[in-house]
Amino acid sequence: MNLVRVSFCKQRCFSSSSSPLPWISPLQLLKPNSQKPDPPPQPSLASTESQRKPKFISHDTAINLIKREKDPQRALQIFNKVSRQKGFTHNSATYGTILHKLAQSKKFQAVDSLLRQMSYETCRFHEGGLCESRRLKEAIELFEEMVGKVDRARKIIEFMKNNGCSPNLFNYSALMNGLCKEGSWEEAKQLFVEMKSTGLKPDTIVYTTLMNCLCRASRIDEVMPLLKEMKENKCEADVVTLNVLLGGLCRESRFHEALQMLEKLPYEGVYLNKASYRIVLNALWQKDEMEKAAKLLGLMLDRGVFPHYATSNEVLIQLCKAGMLDDAVTALFGLAETGFKPEPHCWEFLIEMNCKDRKLLPVFELLDELVIKECTHNLHVGATFA
């Protein structure tokens, strides 16, 4: 009975109704397997790089990359690429760097786009302080200087005011100058008032800019109060300011006031240059005010101020045409003492007019004087090189 049970167990454990299993010796399991399993596949270089975490580009690194990039378009691509990093936001330093790069390359459309983009991020710049970025201030000033267009200058000033950066005298003066060139006189005056309301004290350049604007608009009467205001504010008018005023008076044919200024200002310690006198003299002969022109020419020669060579010839001819032959001869004698020699056509005209008027003696006396001076000069030059 027991023998039958054991036989049954063996048959149950090691056999099957279908086919017997192959027998494996225990010793075979102890031998090393001659066939090693295939190693796991090695990851490719491309997949390794894709799995590797990209390095985070900081603000300082971005700034250095933008500065080193010579191509402004590639610099802008770097600027946009780093902004796509998770957790990265541009600050005033990175904005200032790219703006400076684009402004230097005259990529003004890109600058406009960036300024519009910055206007949507004002809160961040308020927190960090826009004016703390020296680079951004330089970029804005460079952009303003290079663009030279009023609409963009307005945008810049508005942007600065909205972001805690107060425009300075240079910013206002540049915009005022642009408005004057466009003929926006009233807007220029309003900007001047606005500038003073912010607490800024106008300097000589700002006053001169506005005066020039008003003079070109034939509003000379509005210039005189500004000149008085300058004195009250102890802001000294320089020669440029005075020349602007003299030009404005002459354009409106207010020669009496211009001549009074030329005559009196030097006695008041005010410096005038050659241009001051020449501005008025040119305007006088161009508008056939020859009596005043002869008077001014005499004043200039007395003070050692000489007109341009072309102007001297023209004044002499215009004096003759106006029938002022005596004044022409007197002026010619005075100019000759400074070494002046008329052009051939001017000299022929003088001889002709004086001959018609039968005033030959003064002409020939002057001719003798000029010839003698020329001969003396040639003899001196010849002795020098002998």
Confidence of residue 350 (pLDDT cuts 50, 70, 90): confident
Q: Report yes or no: 165 and 171 within 8 Å, Cβ to Cβ.
A: no
- Collapsed DSSP state (helix, strand, coil) of residue 32: coil
What single DSSP character describes residue 287? T
What single DSSP character describes residue 55? P
Is 70 exceeded by the pLDDT of residue 315?
A: yes
Question: What pLDDT is stored for residue 383 in this prediction?
Answer: 40
| pLDDT tens digits, 141-177 | 555 554 445 666 677 677 777 766 777 787 788 788 8
Residue corresponding to tokens 């090189």: 385
Find the mean pLDDT for residues 46-68: 75
Is 50 exceeded by the pLDDT of residue 11?
A: no
| pLDDT tens digits, 61-105 | 989 999 999 898 999 999 999 888 888 888 878 888 888 888 778
Is 90 exceeded by the pLDDT of residue 247?
A: yes
